[in-house]
Each structure stands twice: as structure tokens, then as C-alpha cells.
Chain A
Amino acid sequence: MMTTTSAINFDIERIRADFPILDQEVNGRKLVYFDNAATTQKPVAVIEALMNYYRGYNANIHRGIHTLAEKATADFEASRRAVRDFLNAPSAEEIIFTSGTTMGINLVAQTYGRHFLRAGDEIIISGLEHHSNIVPWQMLAGEKGLTVRAIPVLENGELDMETYDSLLSDRTKIVAVNHASNSLGTVNPVKEIIAKAHAVGAVVLVDGAQASSHLEIDVQDLDVDFYAFSAHKLYGPTGIGALYGKRALLEAMPPYMGGGEMIKEVTFEKTTFNDLPYKFEAGTPNIADVVALKAALDYINAIGKSNISAYETHLLNYATEQVGQMDGIRIIGQAKEKISVLSFVLEGIHHQDIGIILDQQGIAVRTGHHCTQPVMDRFCILGTTRASFAIYNTIEEIDKLVAGLHRVKKLMA
């Protein structure tokens, strides 16, 4: 069955068949999975890549000269090149494998931040950040006597760019913002944020955890200094991600962790560090998940980012219209440009009650503050109910959500 919308040319039934987890019942109903901003499900290609690796060529990389080690190394490095292409980075040496976005941000804070920032310097984040892009900077600030400032959030969920201009100064050394917000869906004007930060001599880290599965990413066009993402939010495995950094910066930064792989030569007097990217990849890496990450990127590329975002926008618009029509609904986050995240509150009903009753109907949503407490404080709420859509979701599922919400209202009345 093809979808009814003309602009979208992919076969939703075929895509759904690629995700075995979707074919199950929860509490006696067909699963409707709308918690994709937390983590996406995995296609067969990713699951098989993991299995094939462990069944066929598990070996430690970069050291063995035997055949399995060579194959493992080749696939590991092929995945690095796939990430380079995915981000349009200039070179594969600028791609560092991490455990995910959180580690990428901490790596930059603890190496670049610790090495180059001085007491009195300032870091600018935004009021839309995930705790992962707040706490590492606060820890650094506490240690070094820095100040962390936040770009405020406007009523519609967009960043207050005028105030951003006034926060920037020659004290600003790092700007760290997300490309898209996990709790509201806002797509931030990162290109403009980056250009303005560069004008005062600051470097910019973009948290791409949410954007990477929805938007075309081009780190050269953005001229971004650091870009971090997690594989598990783009149909890949958990526990793996990547950090892109400009070569000159990565070379100037001290290593993050010490150990094997990241060294050239070790004597008890002195160690010379390895070249990029290995300088930042101490210890045996997460080989299997790196290999499977490539399968996820290949999967996305085969469908095409523009098809993905057209389809997801179609889902988001429909959901916004249908849910938005209900009495007592307040949609939190109405930015002009959004990824497929619909966050809302239902007047007089606690988000947790909504989550429990939807779960009884087989519908998985996220409720709470979504690790963005400052966003909740900004809107004077304790939490929201969040439905976030991926390529395998359908209009019929959104209809189920709306019916489910009517049921919630009836039960709570």
C-alpha cells in the first residue's frame, strides 16, 4: 500500500515490515510506538549487522594481523567513513566514536573546555537544552570559575535570538545548543547561531541528538566546530554515537581518556599520543555497534532524508491538527520549523495519568519533563505528554492516539 500523500514516495507497509518489534501486541492492542525521540526502533538490517559481526568476524581491531581482525577493522573504518559522509565532514579523521551524544559533549567540555577556558570566561547554552548539554558545562564552570548563560525561549518555543545577540561578548568562549529540541521539537537556527559566535571568537558545539534522524546535516555548510549525535535515535544501536570536530581543534585538544589505542609510544617517562581520531578512542571500542551504525546510516540513505522529513512533517501536521482540535489541549512548542515532536498538556489531567491510560491501549508515549526541566519551568508546567514520530508511524496510529486521548478525558471526567 502506498501512502495517500503524493509528495511522499515510499511504501509505508514495506518500511514497517523492516521493524520486527512493531509487530506485537501491548496490553492486548497492536503496539503504537510514539516514543521515537527517546529512542527509535531498529530495522532488520541493523539487527543482522550486529549478529553477523558476532557470528562471523568478531575480533579486536587495529592490532591483529589475522583475517578476522582485518575484516573487523575494515568494517569499523568503513563505518567511520559512512559517518563522515552522513555529516559531510571533510575527513574521516575528524569523526570520533563515542558512546553517544552525552559522551561527545562531555569530551569537548573536559578537553577543549578544561584546556582552553579561563576563570571569567562565559559559555552560552539555551533554555531548550537537554540536561546532557547543561550539566557538563555547569561542572566545567564550577571547576574553572566560568559563567553559563542561557538563551531564553519565546512563547512559541523558539529561541530569543535578540537576547542571544546581547549575551555574546568577547568573554564568550563556547556556545553549545541543540539543533532540534527533544521536548518541543523546535529546529534552531544553528547556522546563524554559529556565525554570530564565530564573530566574537567563540567555538560552537551543536547537540544533534534529535536532528540527526530528521534533518540533512552538513557540518561544512554550518561551519560548526563540534557536532555530536547518538546512533540509537537514528535506527542504530544503543551505546554508540559520534562526535565530529574540526581537525585543528581536535589536534590542539588534549586526549580525554588514557589507555590502549590512543598512544603511539609508551615508556614510563613519557607517552606520545596517537594521531586523530585514535587519540580520543582509548581502549577497545564498541566494535559491533560501530559496524551496525553503518547499517543504520545505509538504511536512512536508502530511503532518503528528504523523503523522511517530508513524510514525518506530514505526520506531524496531521497530529498537530487532530490533537490540537481537542478541548482543553495546549500544545507546547509551536515553532515555525519543527521536527516530528508533539508535546502537549491536557487541562486538569496529570501527564502521568495520560501515559498510563494510553499504555493500557497499547500506545507508547513519553510523559514528564523529558530531561529538560528548564523548558518545563519556562512554561510553568511540571511535564508534558510527548508523541514523537518516526518513518514507520502512520496516520491510522495518530487516529488511535486521538481516540486514546478522548478515552483518557472520558475516564478522568
Chain B
Amino acid sequence: MTINETQDEIIEEFELFDDWEGKYEYIIDLGKKLAPFKEEFKTEDHIIKGCQSRVWLHAELNGDKVVFTADSDAIIVKGLISMLVKVLSGHTPEEIIQADLYFMERVGLQQHLAQTRSNGLASMLKQMKTYALAFSALKN
């Protein structure tokens, strides 16, 4: 699936919810189901500091695709991370660099990407693109 196909799929899933509670229940559930993050990666250099919650991010190259894994100590952020990982992981650095992430806004979660939330999500997204740039530079 392309990045946009995954985004559209998420948007479709969210159309099923007609209140905030259903939406957040779903996000919390995604958070709980996020693939476990290797304890050995929970180090200072993997941490993205937000004022409120902590986020860990790891990236590696598998063939020509970037594979992201991530974690957070707050469950809603973890659910949001799970969606970002689902959208961006498994694509080439170039695809990630060029990705236009519109799904957060379309599902009404844009406010969580605001810097003022200081939950590390905005910084995480930036960091994902930075990894992609680094992998792309490495290749060329």
C-alpha cells in the first residue's frame, strides 16, 4: 500500500465514529496493540523529549525501506504514534521525505501535532523525516 492509501484507509476507519469517545477508544486500543519496542532501544539517543510524555523512536533500513518502531509512556500518544508508524514505515526514504500527511487533520486530530501540546509527536514526525533524509543521503 502506498502512503496515501494507508492514510485514506485510516480516514475511512474514523468515519465510523460519531462521537469523541469512540474515536479515543479506538486510538487507545491502537496504543495498546502497538508492536512492542525493544527495551534496549529505550535509551537517551532514542528519546524525543516532550514536556508531558516521552516518546522513543528507532529507525533502520531493511533493503531499501525504512522500518520505524516507536513507543510512548502515554497511551493516547502511543495510539497516535501507531498510526504515524503504520503510514510511514516500510517505505523508501524518498517516499517518506515527500509524504504529505493529511490524515491527522482529516480525522480531527490535528491539534495533537501542535507544538504547544508538547507531547513529542510533532518532534517525532520531524525526526522520522530526518531519518529518511539521512538514509537517503547515505545511499547517494
A: residues with CB less than 8 A from B are: 27, 349-353, 355-357, 360, 367-369, 382-383, 407, 411-412
Contacts and interface: CB of A to CB of B under 8 A. Distances in A.
Contacts, number: 39
B37 to A, nearest CB: 16
Contacts of B25: 411
Nearest to A349: B75
B interface bracket (residues with beta carbon within 8 Å of A): 10 to 19
B3 interface: no
Given A411-B28, A412-B28, A353 B76 contact: yes
B24 interface: yes
Nearest to A361: B20
B53 to A, nearest CB: 5
Given A411-B24, A411-B25, A411-B28, A356 B51 contact: no
B77 interface: yes
Contact of A350 (B21, B51, B73): B73
Given A350-B73, A350-B74, A360 B51 contact: no
Contacts of B21: 360, 407, 411
Contact of B52 (A357, A383, A407): A383
Given A368-B51, A368-B52, A411-B25, A353 B74 contact: yes
B120 to A, nearest CB: 10
Interface string B38-59: 0000000000000111100000
27 contacts: A27-B20, A349-B75, A350-B74, A350-B75, A351-B52, A352-B52, A352-B53, A352-B76, A352-B119, A353-B28, A353-B74, A355-B52, A356-B24, A356-B76, A357-B76, A360-B20, A360-B21, A367-B52, A368-B51, A368-B52, A369-B51, A383-B52, A411-B21, A411-B24, A411-B25, A412-B28, A412-B75
A355 B117 CA distance: 11
Given A367-B52, A368-B51, A412-B28, A352 B20 contact: no
Nearest to A407: B21
Interface of B: 20-21, 24-25, 28, 51-54, 73-77, 119
A352 B24 contact: no
A215 B25 CA distance: 42
Nearest to A27: B20
Nearest to B79: A353
A180 B83 CA distance: 43
Nearest to B77: A352
Contacts of A353: 28, 74-76
A360 B76 contact: no
Nearest to A360: B20
Contacts of A352: 52-53, 74, 76-77, 119
A123 B77 CA distance: 41
Contacts of A360: 20-21, 24
B115 to A, nearest CB: 15
- The CB with the most chain B CB atoms within 10 A, among A360, A407, A411, is that of A411
The 5 closest A-B pairs by CB, nearest first: A350-B74, A352-B74, A352-B52, A352-B53, A360-B20
